[in-house]
C-alpha cells in the first residue's frame, strides 16, 4: 500500500484520525508532516506495532505460551463489546473483546481461533461451610 494519509492510517489501525495525528505529533507513531498533511508509511506502522508487513506471511507467532486452539461456538455483539465463546475440547472459554476487534478479525461461528491467556494470577473461591 505504501504511504497512507491520516484518514487511511486511522482506518488501517482502527483508530480515530485525531488520535492518529496526536500520536504522530508526540512521536509515538511513525509519521511525517508534509505541509499541513500527515503521511504514514504502512511498513513503519507495521514495524512499530510488531506486525508482519507482508500479506503473504501467515500464522500466529506469539511469545505467550498459554495458547488454546478451539472452535468459535457463539458470538454475541452488543454495543462496543463482543462476547466470544470458544469450544476447547469439552470445555468452553468465554472472552470479552471489543466489537471492533471482532470485526477486524472477521470472527464467525465455526471458525477456528486461538485464545491467548496472559494473566499474572488465578483466584479460586469456595463457599463457606461447604467441605
Say if 61 falls within a structural domain: no
Residue-wise pLDDT for 25-63, tens only, equals: 998 888 888 888 899 888 888 777 766 554 444 455 666
Q: What is the pLDDT of residue 130?
A: 65
> Rounded to the nearest 5 degrees, what angle is found at the Cα of 3, between the Cα atoms of 57 and 34?
155
Say if 98 falls within a structural domain: yes
Say if 32 falls within a structural domain: yes
Q: What is the pLDDT of residue 108?
A: 94
Say if 101 falls within a structural domain: yes
Q: What is the pLDDT of residue 69?
A: 83
Q: What is the pLDDT of residue 2?
A: 73
- How far apart, in whole angstroms, are the C-alpha atoms of residue 116 and residue 88? 12
What are the residues facing 32 on neighbouring strands? 39
Q: What is the pLDDT of residue 56?
A: 46
Domain limits for position 31:
3-48
CATH code, domain with 81: 2.40.50.100
Q: What is the pLDDT of residue 106?
A: 92
Grid look-up 454475541 returns 76
What is the reported pTM? 0.48
Domain count, the chain: 2
Say if 55 falls within a structural domain: no
Residue numbers in the chain where pLDDT is lower than 50: 54-58
The beta strand positions in 23-124, using DSSP E, are: 32-34, 37-41, 67-78, 81-88, 91-98, 112-116
Say if 109 falls within a structural domain: yes
Amino acid at each position: 500500500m505504501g504511504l497512507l494519509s491520516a484518514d487511511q492510517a486511522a482506518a488501517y489501525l482502527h483508530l480515530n484520525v485525531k488520535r492518529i495525528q496526536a500520536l504522530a505529533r508526540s512521536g509515538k507513531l511513525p509519521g511525517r508532516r508534509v505541509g499541513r498533511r500527515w503521511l504514514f508509511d504502512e511498513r513503519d506502522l507495521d514495524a512499530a506495532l510488531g506486525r508482519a508487513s507482508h500479506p503473504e506471511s501467515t500464522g500466529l507467532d506469539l511469545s505467550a505460551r498459554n495458547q488454546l486452539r478451539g472452535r468459535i461456538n457463539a458470538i454475541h455483539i452488543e454495543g462496543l463489546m463482543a462476547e466470544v465463546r470458544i469450544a476447547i475440547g469439552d470445555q468452553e472459554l468465554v472472552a470479552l473483546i471489543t466489537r471492533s476487534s471482532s470485526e477486524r478479525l472477521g470472527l464467525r461461528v465455526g471458525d477456528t481461533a486461538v485464545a491467548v491467556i496472559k494473566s499474572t494470577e488465578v483466584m479460586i473461591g469456595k463457599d463457606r461451610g461447604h467441605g
